Chains A and B, each alone.
Chain A
Amino acid sequence: MRIRIWGCRGSLPTPGASTVRYGGNTSCVEVRLEDGSLLVLDAGTGIRCLGDELAERGVRQIHLLLTHLHLDHLEGLRFFAPMWNPEVSIEIWGPPSPTTSLRDRIARSFSPPLFPLELTDVPAKVTYHDVPREPWTIGPFSLSASLVVHPGPTVGYRIRAGGATFAYIPDHEPALCGRLAELPPDWISGGAVAEGADLLLHDAQYFEDEYETRIGWGHSSVADAVAFARAVDAQRLLLFHHEPLHADESLDLLEDRARELAGQNGRGPTLAREGMVVELQPRLVLEEHRERRGEAV
């Protein structure tokens, strides 16, 4: 499983010289398998460049999984090249609402005065799905989604393919439901999505002191992100949804802080960077390989 970060900034696009190393585009992640099977996670501004690449590759079938409909996860969709190609089919998955369909909620951002065109003007063949309550499959991908703590209906995704598991929870404030180190695992928001994942991509928008004045805004401190990863026994942690006020130097310090909090366990947390690619290998294969070489697993 190949995971590429097209945008990892939280809340607001943040272009400029001070953010060039981590990037300024908002949430968008590509998940691809060797056979070309593809999932797109969220439609922040990072999806614009991904769309150009998908057009070059000639991709005609796209599954887009939205965690929620806050603008920083949706605003790139209007500039996603495949939306404007009548030969492309796009299936959009997102959290359910008790009152309004996913299509109608997305249509708000495709309407004046926010945008000059309507969703009905989009030439691509777009279909909309509420995420199922039960696990489901898209081609070779096995998926499940669970509601997680964030203002408004928001889901995290658990994606499994080729023996590897990737958990995607870019916007999440699990500490709002109690101290993570003290909660039973079954009572932790997002636990079902992230438990034992080979890679957990998780919100870490704030330093601890910043979080104190932003409790309830839906995002995590770096300390809570590390505590969450530990509580769900995730193998690797990729920190995401970088605060717009944090320039590259601040984010370097955030990564240092995350590694300090995680301790010396040999799999220190890493901050997501735009353009970063993570090749996720099946854990069983790695373990077998290590056993053959006589190494401790």
Chain B
Amino acid sequence: MAVARPKHLVLILAREFASNLATATMITDERGYLVYFNEAAEEVFGQSHSEVGEIPFDDWTSRFEPRSVETDEPLPKEQRPTGVALYERRASHQCVRITSLDGLPRENAVTAFPLFAHHDELVGTVTIFWRQ
């Protein structure tokens, strides 16, 4: 079993912040690995974080077939809000249609932003799923 990497302090603080939010929130590290989502996000995805573990967020979010609300076209990973935050290192906000594990389509307003630490290094991203 792989040993988990020690998390950057900014991710540790973000997790503690997210764990106290009633708003669905997801955190990735700088590699794009999903490292945490809170209880409110479990309602959105239909899975707990302990069931999912640490995996590339692209792999995981693809299970939900994210699509553009405007065009209903599949969203490539680099155009999803988390992908924009991770690959372009800027904030992004979009309305995204997903298919949850219960098979029902859901529309979510999604905001993602990168986390930069003191060295101006990217240490991860935060993605928020707003209630519609």
Contacts and interface: CB of A to CB of B under 8 A. Distances in A.
Interface of A: 95-98, 130, 133, 146-149, 153, 176-178, 184-189, 191-192, 195
Nearest to B14: A177
Contacts of B16: 176-178
A153 B5 CA distance: 21
Interface string B1-21: 000111111101101100100
Nearest to B119: A96
B72 interface: no
Nearest to A96: B118
Contacts of A146: 6, 9
Contact of A186 (B6, B9, B19, B119): B6
Specify the main secondary structure of chain A where it touches its partner. Answer: loop
Contact of A130 (B4, B15, B116, B119): B119
8 contacts: A96-B119, A97-B118, A153-B118, A178-B19, A186-B5, A187-B12, A191-B6, A192-B6
Interface string B96-132: 0000000000000000000011111100000000000
B19 to A, nearest CB: 7
A177 B118 contact: no
Given A146-B6, A184-B4, A189 B12 contact: yes
B67 to A, nearest CB: 33
Contacts of A153: 118
Given A98-B120, A133-B121, A147 B15 contact: no
A147 B6 contact: no
Given A95-B118, A97-B118, A147-B118, A177 B12 contact: yes
A251 B7 CA distance: 34
Given A178-B19, A186-B7, A133 B119 contact: yes
Contacts of A192: 6
B12 A149 contact: yes
A187 B7 contact: yes
Contact of B15 (A95, A149, A187, A191): A187
Given A177-B12, A178-B16, A189-B12, A147 B7 contact: no
B6 to A, nearest CB: 4
Contacts of A178: 16, 19
A97 B116 CA distance: 12
Nearest 3 Cβ contacts at the A-B interface: A192-B6, A186-B4, A147-B9
